[in-house]
Amino acid sequence: MTIKVTKGKKPEYSKRLVSDIRSLLWVVTVGGLLLAAYCIHRGYTGSLPWLSAMVGLPWTAHGVVCSFYLNMAKSDHRAGGVTFESAKAANFEKPAGSENSPGI
């Protein structure tokens, strides 16, 4: 899943953080799998707990970041949240266009 950004508009910090973590997560995962394959190819017969930690810990961090991002999004859409209060101030009317289909 990628985050679409309109031209000229930088994504919010939290969205960039989630996106950057996903990229880093896949680099570490693929690198760990390649390193494990290399160890097996070279005949290493010891245990590889460091390798499972190298791959498992970033996935855990990703889960924590996504969990907190979801909590933030939920709080924004409740009464008193930024998004909810903005919509309330606009009398809950939809804008002429949307992010995917701007008004003409």
- pTM of this structure: 0.53
Q: Are 51 and 32 within 8 A, CB to CB?
A: yes
| pLDDT confidence of residue 42 | 93
If you average pLDDT over residues 5-20, what whole number do you get? 71
pLDDT tens for 46-91 read 887 887 888 888 888 888 888 888 887 777 666 766 666 777 777 7
Helix or strand or coil: residue 69?
Answer: helix
